Homo-oligomer: A and B are copies of this chain.
Amino acid sequence: MTDVAGKTIDVAVFGAGRIGKIHASNLARQPGVRLKYVVDVNRDAAAALAAQYGAQVADIDGAMGDASVGATVICSSTDTHADLILQSAAQKKHVFCEKPVDLTLERARACADAVAKAGIVCMIGFQRRFDPTFAALKARIDAGEIGTPEMLVVTSRDPGAPPVEYIKHSGGIFKDMLIHDFDIFRWILDDEADTLHATGSCLSDPAIADAGDIDCTAVTIRTKRGRLCQINTSRRAAYGYDQRFELLGSEGMLQAGNVRPTEVTAYSKTAVSSDVPEHFFLERYRAAYALEIAHFFEAVTQGKPVRTTVADGLKALELAEAATRSWREGRAVKLNEAL
């Protein structure tokens, strides 16, 4: 195995769960990249994943302490992200970290500072920016196809809520779920929020309300340049994972639609029907996950900038924080309020 620049990057993956497996599988296909360690508190999970790609099981210190490891891929639970980023920065290892950077702005900012000081690449896993449909739409905006962007409408719905235990430690729906939509908003409109209003309800399961959270939200953002964005989100869509957005511009509109498993259309006595969308994020963003990991290693090996930086992670978190405040206090908030 040889890499383009003449040397192989050894990688440590933290977290051997659902998303860790995806990233491991994708990085195994990158030329010049070798999965060296898998780290997980669940040693069996770590061992199984390591075995699949000829890697070793290690603990955090072992992986971080190995100077030959050039990059870390952080897919462990949210509360470990900041520590692992800080340790990676201290060891001058490049970092790919799943969103969010952290549930608190303070610690997320500390990560951003450490990354800047260390001069490492730190990419946050906003994989949606790598989705072929979303990326093509973005390129067409940038090419001026619809003139000046004016209004963005984002629809973001999960097929079902996670367990309430998960929700309790998730930081709330705005940090856990809408953080992706906030990133889409910034990326697509290429603008920053000036004011934000969020409201929501708990309609699917009272246990979510008991945990202090909501399961559907309606967020409106007005940007510094006066552009508008509306985001509607639900933890439960009976028909599956619904990931669409549309952008009205001065010269037209672009829509990003869902992806279907097949292109079969059925005509029955009562309806003409096609497939429901891909079931959930692992299916819907399969291509996006592969492309983001390729992008990360390309950036690392070729010294290119990454598309989703730790600064993007911070900005999305600020929006999530503002949305939480707006919802709790029942008022629109200015983004320059101290958060």
Which residues of chain A from 221 to 244 have a CB within 8 Å of any chain B CB? 222, 226-230, 232, 234, 236-239, 242
- Are B254 and A266 closer than 8 Å at their CB atoms? yes
Nearest chain B CB to A284 CB, angstrom units: 11
Interface residues of A in 109-168 (CB under 8 A from B): 132-133, 136-137, 140, 145-148, 150-151, 153, 155, 157
Among A73-81, A171-179, A182-190, A197-205, the one that faces the other chain is A197-205
Name the one of B151, B220, B234, B252 contacting A267, with C-beta atoms under 8 angstroms.
Answer: B252
Partner-contacting stretch, out of A13-21, A41-49, A269-277, A298-306: A269-277
- Measured between beta carbons, the chain B residues less than 8 angstroms from A147 are 238
- CB neighbours of A331 from chain B (8 A): 331-332
A153 touches B155 (CB 8 A): yes
Residue of B whose beta carbon sits closest to that of A277: B272
Of A57-65, A257-265, A316-324, the one contacting chain B is A257-265
Whether A199 touches B228, Cβ cut-off 8 Å, given contacts A263-B256, A269-B276, A272-B239, is: yes
> Which residues from chain B contact A220 at a C-beta distance below 8 Å?
197, 199, 218, 220, 230
Bound together, the chains give a CA A216 to CA B148 distance in angstroms of 14
A294 within 8 Å of B by Cβ? no
Total A residues in contact with B, Cβ cutoff 8 Å:
71
Q: Is A22 an interface residue (CB 8 A)?
A: no
Q: How many copies does the complex hold?
A: 4
Q: Which residues of B contact A218 (CB under 8 A)?
A: 151, 220, 222, 228-230
Q: Which residues of B contact A148 (CB under 8 A)?
A: 203
Q: Which residues of B contact A226 (CB under 8 A)?
A: 201-203
Residue of A197, A234, A248, A330 with most partner-chain B CB within 10 A: A248
Which residues of chain B have C-beta atoms less than 8 A from A203's C-beta?
Answer: 148, 150, 226-227, 250
Q: Is the CB of A273 within 8 A of B276?
A: no
Task: Give chain B residues whose Cβ lies under 8 Å from the Cβ of A276.
Answer: 267-272
Assuming the A-B contacts A132-B262, A216-B151, are A252 and B238 also in contact, with contact meaning beta carbons closer than 8 angstroms in the complex? yes
Residues of B near A232 (CB, < 8 A) are 151, 153, 228, 230
Closest-CB distance, A33 to chain B (whole angstroms): 16
A sample of 11 cross-chain residue pairs with beta-carbon separation below 8 angstroms, ordered by A number, consists of A137-B262, A153-B230, A153-B232, A195-B199, A201-B228, A220-B220, A234-B248, A236-B250, A239-B253, A252-B269, A255-B265
Task: Apart from A197-B199, A234-B248, A273-B273, list 17 A-B contacts with CB within 8 A.
Answer: A146-B266, A150-B234, A157-B248, A201-B222, A204-B250, A218-B222, A218-B228, A220-B220, A238-B268, A239-B252, A239-B253, A239-B267, A251-B268, A252-B268, A254-B266, A271-B275, A272-B276
